[in-house]
Structure 1
Amino acid sequence: MASIRQLCPQCCWIHNGQLIDQGDTEETLANYIQSTLRLPTGANVPSTASRSGTGRLRIRRIRFENADGDTLTTVQNGTDVTIAMDCEAAADEHFTSVVASLALLDDHDNYIWLVRSSFTREYFSFTGSTTIRCHIHDLNVAQGTYRGVTFLSERDNEILDNVRNAFTLTVVSGDFFGTGDQGLPTRCKTLTRSTWTHS
């Protein structure tokens, strides 16, 4: 898609011989990408996932949402995405300072990305089950498929739920840099914008 963005001010989207959309390249590509991202339901945490913690609070379901709250099957780098974790309490327990974390692993089991609510001094207080949402601004992960790790703790002391391989995230290429360049996804999994000068 980067080549289309760089070379074509206008384009058309054809599916099974039928013209679906045509016009401005950015609008047509946005419509195409949006059509591939919709999924009616989220994904349950696999029963085969490696899990530890006390179990007083468990992550049962994870989904990716766009700004309208639609569930996505893939996400596009350079866009905003919300990761929603449906959490189920063992009983009608009251939690006072829950910390939530999400991490992505590459195909070599290396951590390449991490967000944690305590980094921004955000702690959750609730009774019973809830949905915890993490709003990611301008996703800076290169295209590829990643495995996810989730973590919930009470006050960074008691591990409530720690799930390795809790989800799979497929990131498709957007226009993160604004130039159509994809970066080097086979060499580096995170993307960072920069400006360069010389003197």
Structure 2
Amino acid sequence: MPDLPAFEQIAGLDGVYSTSNGKLRCVAIRLNSGGLCLYSPVLGLGQTARNSLDHLGSVEVLPAPNQYHNKGLAQYHAAFPQAALVAPADVCARLKKVTGLTFDPLQTVGLELPEPARLVFPEGLKTGEVWIAVGAALIVVDAFAGAGAPELLKTFPRYGVGNASVYTTWVQRFLTQQSPNMLVPCHGSIVRDDALSDQLVALLRQIS
């Protein structure tokens, strides 16, 4: 896999940066401490990406945002051994078995995110996914993709959902309340659309 390019700020999101390798994205978020959280580390951490991170701040936290996005963690842990390894509580044991690394549960340790950023734990999933909401922007792993409808959902409803009724009810309520107009996915391009929330809710209703 080729080396990642430099992390660059996402337009409209202060303290949020991203880089991508093909269709896979890693997001760096500045914490209250001034350090960085790297959401979904992507393989290919070369000197260019390292240099850009050194300029932005110290890498303090490496979250595994679900049980599948773990392939880059060993590489990043070796590069940033001082960074805390965290993951949703339900998948910490599985991740340790797969990676050999030990993770602290995000629900317990949290992240020192600056307001208005916050962790979001969707209900009804079997993948242990965690999102980060930053105002009207939503940073996600596998639930939604950077593509037009209906590809926004990809294959997620067929493999990521444990209880479809619980998940669709929860996510429709969340999207209606949150009304995101920007989607920063780990797969695909960033989506900006004032009607994003309505589009996602409509798609979810079709599969529920």
TM-score by length of 2: 0.23
Higher strand proportion: 1
Decide which structure has greater helix share: 2
